[in-house]
């Protein structure tokens, strides 16, 4: 994509990750189109804001006109009733991919999730090639998101990168985060790499900081061009020692518990 990212569309731009990406890409993109269903105000001449719901396929396609890339962060961010997840995550992602196909967008970056594999035990180092084991309905929706990305890469030639985002926090807040933390600095590093990596047809990458206790392999991220720098271990002394997981416990922790999903059924 050259030294400039050109025109980049960011969906879910008002969210926690979207806000970090917006600021981080402001100096790299010639034009930033910021999409959310809540109101935003442009903060620089390079920014353009669009307010609509991602279920509006025609609005999505219109927003992607002239774009070089899209970072798709919009959707339902946690466990919810399956119909809501299908509309917010699966249909919304389909609209983004179809809009990208129709407008000739060169790179699509999809926000996936570590919870796509949350039922693997903590004793297992998981790679992106291993089969999904979602820890809930939210994880199931992200399996579908990645499947759509793979379909559009294989069938229509889109270049698609799925970032399996870890626990995005300013600092780790609980014991699980010592393995799953994604710092804002590393998050932006993974997004930049996903936008600029060359010769990518389809890639799924765990976006997680370089945590000593991490569950996930970093090789795919290195191949994409980014090696994380932060480590949650620097915060370990601030987090109570109670609650360390046993080797057979699921990586999803409380997210994998039955009660976390039952009240959405």
Q: Yes or no: say if 78 and 255 are a contact pair by the CB < 8 Å rule.
A: no
CA nearest 187: which of 213, 212, 207?
A: 207
The catalytic position among 120, 138, 226, 260 is 138
Active site residue 226: no
Q: Yes or no: say if 181 and 232 are a contact pair by the CB < 8 Å rule.
A: yes
- Please enumerate in sequence order all residues whose Cβ is within 8 A of that of 102, keeping only pairs 6 or more positions apart, or say none: 61, 64
Residue showing tokens 């790179």: 107
- Please enumerate in sequence order all residues whose Cβ is within 8 A of that of 14, keeping only pairs 6 or more positions apart, or say none: 34, 36, 38, 40
Helix axes 92-103, 137-156, angle to 10 degrees: 20
- Please enumerate in sequence order all residues whose Cβ is within 8 A of that of 241, keeping only pairs 6 or more positions apart, or say none: 175
Catalytic residues: 138
């Amino acid at each position: 994509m050259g030294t400039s990212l050109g025109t980049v569309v960011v969906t879910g731009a008002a969210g926690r990750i979207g806000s970090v990406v917006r600021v981080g890409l402001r100096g790299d993109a010639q034009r930033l189109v910021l999409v959310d269903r809540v109101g935003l105000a442009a903060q620089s001449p390079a920014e353009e804001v669009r307010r609509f719901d991602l279920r509006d396929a025609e609005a999505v396609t219109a927003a992607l006109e002239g774009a070089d890339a899209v970072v798709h962060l919009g959707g339902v961010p946690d466990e919810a009733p399956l119909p809501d997840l299908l509309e917010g995550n699966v249909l919304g992602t389909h609209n983004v991919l179809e809009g990208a196909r129709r407008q000739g967008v060169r790179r699509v970056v999809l926000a996936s999730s570590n919870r796509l594999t949350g039922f693997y035990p903590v004793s297992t180092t998981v790679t992106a090639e291993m089969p999904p084991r979602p820890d809930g309905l939210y994880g199931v929706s992200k399996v579908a998101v990645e499947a759509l990305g793979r379909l559009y890469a294989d069938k229509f030639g889109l270049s698609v990168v799925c970032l399996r985002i870890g626990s995005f926090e300013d600092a780790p807040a609980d014991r699980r985060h010592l393995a799953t933390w994604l710092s804002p600095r590393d998050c932006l590093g993974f997004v930049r790499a996903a936008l600029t990596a060359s010769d990518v047809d389809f890639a799924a990458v765990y976006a997680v900081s370089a945590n000593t206790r991490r569950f996930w392999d970093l090789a795919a991220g290195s191949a994409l061009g980014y090696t994380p720098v932060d480590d949650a271990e620097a915060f370990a002394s601030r987090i109570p020692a109670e609650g360390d997981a046993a080797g057979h416990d699921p990586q999803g922790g409380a997210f994998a518990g039955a009660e976390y999903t039952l009240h959405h059924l």
